[in-house]
């Protein structure tokens, strides 16, 4: 058997899961595996960065899932500070820039995995590339932000953009005792939620002592004598800052793939088939934040840069390269986050997405508590449900609440995945005991209310108009 070489570009969730899974199925005698990363770390949890900066996680080592040595023991060679700068897919060659020596070299491959992740959106506005304006995408970024927070006199942080990463960073800065301001261009933070739910988040964020300026666009980053960021300017005000962090979302990092002729989709992500093989090249695979996937509810192509998908897609790639058979089934848009004591979760379609998909729906907002009302620690929970008109199929759900609220989204994600109606959800056999839920779980109450609304709507449709 001739030995093949698998080259993995990007040594984190998507890339290294691919490598490990391929290795499980093919020994070193048939498959050599070389993984490249331009950064100084491999296989890390980017999701843990805000908790490391905030001090909840003590050291960077805790965020490393597996070390380069551990990979070596599996016969996977990880080369750090090695950046893929060119790709010739027909010849099967990657050009690698070695950041240690400054030189370039060619590396041939038989199979290639693109796991290049995403890059933070950095608007083309004066000052956004100044020192002191940080993205938080890699551990190297995290280290830079930690150093900035620890610097003498650092007391004011401004987060530009109120997405979930921006809000997690706001929490981290609160934990570090900084004065925190979040500037968001939209009327509400967290554009992945409907505005009425976003408004609940805004209210709770302000209650936590974070200053939130929504409906305000950043027009400039003010720089000091040394060119470093010293403040954030909007049409309304100038906010002095010792640390500025980008929370404007990310876009797929696909320049290398695009230049090599790999097919890119409408979302900017790499197009693959269900086995995560690129649409353009049979021996080129892709996984993680650099790919486009499909939303199972709307059937629309989407870019959902989440670690949960990167790991699953990497597993699919590795199984297939290893000679097995696996597919990635798409997503329903489930996500969860926490800002201090506030828990926020969503799944399925929000109203605007349902409208774009041409679906008609009925929305309800239901308030309840996370435990029996009399039980110590019962906290408020609000659930929004979006059900399809007539059929009552659950299309989407959003949850805002305190401890015990957010993970209830998983029941609703499962219901959406299985195309259940809200009537079916209202009858589910969910667990009950006072420390965990009221006798009617908030999910059941919300589903019941949603089903009532669907029925009323159907009746209204059939009532002759005078
Ligand atoms: C602050 C933060 C919090 C998050 N929280 C959550 C969460 O709670 N839940 C969740 O599901 N997801 C979360 N995510 C998202 C999650 O971290 C990503 O979806 C996941 O890391 C994607 O994995 P990936 O392997 O596709 O890309 P990445 O983790 O971005 O890894 C890509 C790697 O490729 C390397 N690379 C890029 N280009 C090249 C090149 N040309 N040559 C060599 N190397 C290259 C990069 O250095 C990087 O190490 C969070 C992300 C961040 C930043």
Spell out the residues 6+ positions from residue 38 whose beta carbon is closer than 8 angstroms to its own.
81, 82, 83, 84, 99
Angle at 176 between CA 173 and CA 179, to 5 degrees: 55
Measured from the CA of 291, which atom of ligand 1 is nearest?
Answer: 26
Give the mutation target among 47, 64, 163 for probing the ligand 1 site: most ligand atoms within 8 A of CB.
47
pLDDT tens, residue by residue, 113-134: 999 999 989 889 999 999 999 9
Q: What is the pLDDT of residue 378?
A: 97
Q: What is the pLDDT of residue 340?
A: 87
pLDDT tens, residue by residue, 139-196: 999 999 999 999 988 999 999 999 999 999 999 999 999 999 999 999 999 999 999 9
Spell out the residues 6+ positions from residue 378 whose beta carbon is closer than 8 angstroms to its own.
369, 370, 371, 372
Instruction: In whole angstroms, give the CA distance from residue 338 to residue 171.
Output: 9
pLDDT tens, residue by residue, 4-63: 999 999 999 999 999 999 999 999 999 999 999 999 999 999 999 999 999 999 999 999
396: its two tokens = 């989407």
Strands 250-252 and 243-246: unpaired
pLDDT tens, residue by residue, 259-280: 999 999 999 999 999 999 998 8
Q: What is the pLDDT of residue 37?
A: 97
Residue of the nearest CA to atom 26 in ligand 1?
Answer: 288
Closest CA to 27 of 72, 95, 74: 74
Query: Does the pLDDT of residue 466 top 90, yes or no?
Result: no
Instruction: In whole angstroms, give the CA distance from residue 192 to residue 348.
Output: 10
Instruction: In whole angstroms, give the CA distance from residue 98 to residue 80.
Output: 9
The average pLDDT across 398-413 equals 97
Instruction: In whole angstroms, give the CA distance from residue 83 to residue 36.
Output: 7
Q: What is the pLDDT of residue 462?
A: 87
pLDDT tens, residue by residue, 296-324: 999 999 999 999 999 999 999 999 999 99
Residues with CB under 6 A from ligand 1: 9-10, 12-15, 36-39, 46-47, 49-50, 83-84, 115-118, 136-138, 165, 253, 256, 288-289, 305-308, 310
Q: What is the pLDDT of residue 1?
A: 58
Extract the runs of DSSP E, i.e. beta strands, from 23-174: 31-37, 76-80, 82-88, 93-98, 104-108, 111-114, 118-120, 133-134, 156-160
Give the distance (Å) from ligand 1 centre to CA of residue 118. Answer: 6
Query: Does the pLDDT of residue 222 top 90, yes or no?
Result: yes
- Residue 395: half-sphere exposure toward Cβ, Cα within 13 Å: 26
Given the residues 4, 5, 32, 47, the one annotated as active site: 47
Give the distance (Å) from ligand 1 centre to CA of residue 15. Answer: 10
- 3-state SS, residue 457: helix
Q: Is 47 a catalytic residue?
A: yes
Residue with the two structure tokens 């190297």: 140
Q: What is the pLDDT of residue 375?
A: 97
Instruction: In whole angstroms, give the CA distance from residue 10 to residue 125.
Output: 29
Measured from the CA of 287, which atom of ligand 1 is nearest?
Answer: 26
Instruction: In whole angstroms, give the CA distance from residue 110 to residue 94.
Output: 11
Give the distance (Å) from ligand 1 centre to CA of residue 289. Answer: 7
Q: What is the pLDDT of residue 464?
A: 81
The average pLDDT across 330-355 equals 96
Q: How far is CA 393 from CA 96, 333, 348, 363, in A?
A: 50, 16, 11, 12
Give the distance (Å) from ligand 1 centre to CA of residue 167. Answer: 18
The average pLDDT across 281-286 equals 96
Q: Do 400 and 203 meet the contact criterion of CB atoms below 8 Å apart? A: no
Angle at 25 between CA 20 and CA 29, to 5 degrees: 95
236: its two tokens = 């309304």
SS3 content of the chain, % helix, strand, coil (to 5): 30, 30, 40
Q: What is the pLDDT of residue 17?
A: 98
464: its two tokens = 């002759």
Kindly report the average pLDDT of the chain as a whole number.
96
């Amino acid at each position: 058997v001739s030995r093949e070489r698998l080259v993995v570009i990007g040594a984190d969730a998507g890339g290294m899961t691919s490598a490990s899974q391929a290795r499980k199925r093919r020994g070193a005698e048939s498959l050599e595996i070389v993984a490249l990363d331009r950064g100084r770390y491999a296989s890390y949890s980017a999701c843990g960065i805000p908790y490391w900066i905030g001090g909840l996680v003590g050291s960077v080592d805790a965020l490393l899932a597996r070390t380069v040595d551990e990979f070596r023991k599996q016969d996977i060679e990880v080369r750090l500070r090695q950046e893929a700068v060119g790709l010739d897919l027909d010849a099967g060659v990657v050009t690698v820039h070695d950041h240690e020596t400054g030189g370039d070299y060619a590396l041939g491959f038989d199979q290639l995995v693109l796991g290049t992740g995403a890059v933070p959106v950095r608007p083309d506005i004066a000052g956004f590339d100044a020192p002191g304006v940080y993205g938080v995408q890699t551990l190297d970024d995290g280290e830079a932000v930690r150093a900035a927070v620890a610097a003498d006199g650092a007391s004011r942080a401004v987060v530009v953009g109120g997405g979930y990463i921006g809000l997690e960073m706001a929490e981290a800065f609160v934990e570090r005792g900084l004065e925190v301001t979040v500037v968001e261009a939209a009327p509400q933070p967290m554009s992945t939620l409907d505005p009425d739910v976003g408004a609940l988040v805004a209210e709770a964020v302000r209650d936590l002592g974070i200053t939130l300026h929504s409906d305000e666009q950043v027009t400039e980053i003010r720089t000091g004598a040394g060119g470093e960021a010293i403040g954030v300017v909007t049409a309304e005000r100038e906010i002095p800052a010792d640390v500025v962090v980008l929370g404007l979302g990310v876009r797929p990092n696909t320049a290398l793939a695009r230049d090599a002729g790999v097919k890119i989709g409408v979302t900017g992500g790499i197009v693959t088939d269900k086995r995560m093989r690129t649409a353009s090249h049979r021996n080129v695979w892709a996984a993680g934040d650099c790919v486009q996937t499909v939303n199972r509810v709307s059937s629309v192509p989407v870019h959902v840069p989440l670690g949960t998908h990167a790991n699953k897609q990497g597993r699919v790639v590795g199984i297939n390269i290893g000679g097995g058979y696996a597919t990635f089934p798409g997503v329903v848009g489930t996500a969860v986050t926490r800002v201090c004591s506030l828990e926020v979760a969503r799944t399925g379609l929000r109203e605007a997405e349902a409208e774009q998909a041409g679906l008609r729906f009925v929305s309800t907002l239901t308030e309840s508590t996370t435990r029996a009302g009399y039980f110590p620690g019962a906290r408020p929970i609000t659930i929004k449900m979006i059900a399809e008109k007539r059929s009552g199929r659950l299309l989407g759900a959003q949850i805002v609440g305190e401890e015990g609220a957010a993970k209830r989204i998983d029941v609703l994600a499962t219901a959406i995945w299985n195309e259940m109606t809200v009537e079916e959800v209202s009858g589910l056999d969910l667990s009950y005991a006072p420390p965990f839920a009221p006798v009617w779980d908030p999910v059941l109450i919300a589903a019941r209310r949603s089903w009532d609304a669907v029925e009323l709507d159907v009746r209204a449709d059939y009532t002759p108009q005078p």
